[in-house]
Amino acid sequence: MKSLKRMLVVVALVGSAVATSGCSYNTFVSQEEAIKTQWAQVENQLQRRNDLIPNLVETTKGFAQQEKDVFQSIADSRAKLAGATTPDQKMTAANEQTSALARLLVVVENYPVLKSDATFARLMDELAGTENRIAVERMRYNETIQAYNTARRQFPANITAGIFGFKGDYKLFEAPPEAKIAPKVQFTKPQ
């Protein structure tokens, strides 16, 4: 009689684990789709920024012909972002683009007439809004990955994750090393 009770308890535990695993499977599928959707939102905002940059660069070029290396790094970063195919490549290209834009903003500080130009001011407002949208979408992307990774590691869902091959291979969108260095702003007039 005792062995029958033990066997029923084991069967009940296994049955509960199997029932719970089914729910976990669907959760993982939903979370992976949410990660992909959120990444698409990040890409959408990166593309918006990429589309704004040529107008900003052309407006700035008229005022700052000698800053060719800054313009070249922006052009290179746009090309890298356009040619990137994986999230890792796109993150790296987006971080390079952020660095190039930061250098452009330092150039702008040296040209007060440029800062007062209406077209330039409008483009800068659009760029600032886009940068805010990118930051929000990156945050949401990282939160979605964090929720997935947390769920994947919790018991009994970790059993389902192992059985069905749900892995934590999604990379968080992290700030580039250059972002940790404060930019140097100089208030000297150009020569």
Per-residue pLDDT of 36-56, as tens digits, reads: 999 889 888 888 888 888 877
DSSP state of 165: T
4's tokens: 């029958």
26's tokens: 């669907």
Per-residue confidence band for 187, with pLDDT thresholds at 50, 70 and 90: very low
Q: Comparing 63 with 66, which gets the higher pLDDT? A: 63
**Minimal CA–CA distance to 144: which of 36, 24, 47?**
36
Cis peptide preceding 156, ω within 30 of 0: yes
**Minimal CA–CA distance to 92: which of 173, 7, 191?**
173
Count of all residues that appear for the chain in the document: 191
User: Quick one: pLDDT at residue 116?
Assistant: 67
User: Quick one: pLDDT at residue 63?
Assistant: 64
